[in-house]
Amino acid sequence: MSKLFMARNPRVAARALDGEMMIMSAKDSTLFTLNRTATILWQSADGTTPLEEIVQNRICTEFDVEASAALEDAEKLARDLAGYEILQISDTPIQQGKGSGDSR
Amino acid sequence: MSGLLEEMTEKALKHNIPLSVQVDLTYRCNERCVHCYLDHHDHGEMTTAEIKHLLEEMAEAGVFILTLSGGEIFLRKDFFEILEYARRQLLFCVKLKTNAILIREAEAARIRDLGVESIQISIYSHRPEVHDAITLVPGSLKRSIDAVRFLKSQGLRVILANVLMVNNAQDYKGVRALADELGVECTLDPTITPMMDGDRSILSLNVEHSALREVFRDKGLVGDVDDFCSIAAPATEDVLSSTPCSAGHTTCYVSPYGDVFPCVQFPLPTGNVRKQRFIDVWRHSERMNDVRSIRLKDLSTCTSCTHVSSCTRCPGLAYMEGNMRGPSSQDCEKSFARTGVPSANMLAKKRHAPNLIQIQALSAPASATA
């Protein structure tokens, strides 16, 4: 499996509310809420850390899951979030513009 | 409101989070609208640094929807610096309110790049002679409509905001047709509010009962007219225990001078972000908590009114009439125009109105003789 890198789409609005991440798409104002795993992906999506490392360091430490299965699920989730234009994904590191936003 | 946003609002209410805040960046304006409630002189606006600091505190407090308004926001030379900080750094969902006459192609492109959710533009008529006579700026309608086209060409969501008053009472259908032609949304607000200093003279611009009645029976605006104009079922205990509106519960307003109010239409100062943290004003201001404590069952007069469960009663307008727990006469007029049934407040006023003609029995002269 090749490496996958994720960056937050700078065109979305986001805020954590009671531990749940609210995301609004600037494209069509659709509102999403992210579950805990998706929130971890969002918060860790800095464009340079490979998904494999995020799964190892953030997901496997929080949930009792086997690494390879977790990576497979996380990759599917990342692609879904990219489909909604919440995340940008690439097999090479992603350069983020000035002020890519905090993750609060 | 979408189901998910409704769910988030419920959650914000439960956790006392200000989900949506309007910040007026300036009261200065390049139009002089005859119905405007603001004093346009600059009495010491917050600096760029103060606004950025406020936005950081608001993000920390959980504010998600940020409405930037004024005055005219584009008169601030640092407007795009503030907008960029709000969007790129703090990830607010940003809505703008503007007359748009300073928006050209370049500004529209920049607004698009920054991912603004929507731009609400004040349009009073489709006819230049009516719109420009309200803004007191010749050529303003053309400039605003040009801006709508620039924004629309960038794929942005634009909403025309039409305030109804005696000067344009006949033109709301024309504005709606203009919105259709431009491919944008349109809202209609039939309420002129008093000046923020309490001066009520501009209320004379409110449309008359017959015009309001006509608006409420316009199928294009209200949908099912019979349903919209029907008298609501008697209020249940749940309804009476509910809050009157979102002011102070999930929303508030910050002036260009840092004063925090429950709402833009509720001029009860609750604190100032130049002296206090935003979250401290939100959570601990006695006045904010007083506003928060109001329930429909606590309202004087309104609790017993036929319209209590369907009225659009604005606590801010009631406050400006002298009692935030009292009736808002303008909303009484709206309920009356909608249903044909006078409100409890209107009936009470009628009962206590002094007789204009006093007729007294003539007593017989004491010394009358045959």
| pLDDT tens for each residue of chain B, 370 residues long | 678 888 899 999 999 999 999 999 999 999 999 999 999 999 999 999 999 999 999 999 999 999 999 999 999 999 999 999 999 999 999 999 999 999 999 999 999 999 999 999 999 999 999 999 999 999 999 999 999 999 999 999 999 999 999 999 999 999 999 999 999 999 999 999 998 888 899 999 999 999 999 999 999 999 999 999 999 998 899 989 988 889 999 999 999 999 999 999 999 999 999 999 999 999 999 999 999 999 999 998 999 899 999 999 999 999 999 999 999 999 999 999 999 999 999 999 887 665 555 555 555 554 444 3
User: Could you report the per-residue pLDDT of A19-62, keeping only the tens digit for each?
Assistant: 889 999 877 888 999 988 889 999 999 999 999 999 999 999 98
A-contacting residues in B 125-164 (Cβ below 8 Å): 157
d(CA B156, CA B152): 5
For residue B177, what is the enclosing H or E element? helix B172-182
Helix (H) or strand (E) holding A23: strand A20-24
Q: pLDDT over 70 for what percent of chain A? A: 89
- The 3-class secondary structure across B187-230, one letter per residue, is EEECCCCCCCCCCCHHHHHCCCHHHHHHHHCCHHHHCCHHHHCC
What residues of B are in contact with residue A10 (Cβ under 8 Å)? 87-88, 115
AA identity, residue B333: E
What pLDDT does residue A25 have? 83
C-alpha angle B105/B126/B40, rounded to 5°? 70
Per-residue pLDDT tens digits for B315-330: 999 999 999 999 999 9
Q: How confident is the model at residue A96 (pLDDT cuts 50, 70, 90)?
A: confident
**Count of C-beta atoms within a 10 Å radius of residue A32:** 16
Q: Which H or E run contains B291?
A: helix B286-292
Q: List, in sequence order, every residue forming a beta bridge with B24; answer none if it has no partner.
A: B69
**CATH T-level assignment (fold) for domain A5-86:** Outer Surface Protein A; domain 3 (3.90.930)
- Where do the domains of chain A lie? 5-86
Closest CB to A26: pick one of B15, B59, B117. B117
In this structure, the number of other CB atoms found within 10 A of the CB of residue B288 comes to 23
Q: How close B116 comes to chain A (CA, Å)?
A: 7
pLDDT at residue B94, as a whole number = 97
pLDDT at res. B95 = 97
- Comparing CA positions, the residue from B192, B318, B155, B151 lying closest to residue B247 is B318
Q: Is B55 on the interface with A (CB under 8 A)?
A: no
* Distance separating alpha carbons of residues B120 and B220, to the nearest angstrom: 20
| Amino acid found at B207 | V
For residue B345, what pLDDT is reported?
94
pLDDT of residue B368: 42
Query: Taking an 8 Å Cβ-Cβ cutoff, which residues of chain A contact chain B?
Result: 10-18, 20, 22, 24, 26, 29, 31-33, 97-102, 104
pLDDT the model gives residue B369: 40
> Are A17 and B17 within 8 A, CB to CB?
yes
Reduce the DSSP state of residue B16 to 3 states and report it: coil
DSSP B231: P
Over range A9-20, report the average pLDDT: 90
Instruction: Give B8's contacts (C-beta < 8 A, 6+ positions apart).
Output: A17, A22, A31, A33, B19, B64
Question: Which of the 8 DSSP states describes residue B44?
Answer: -
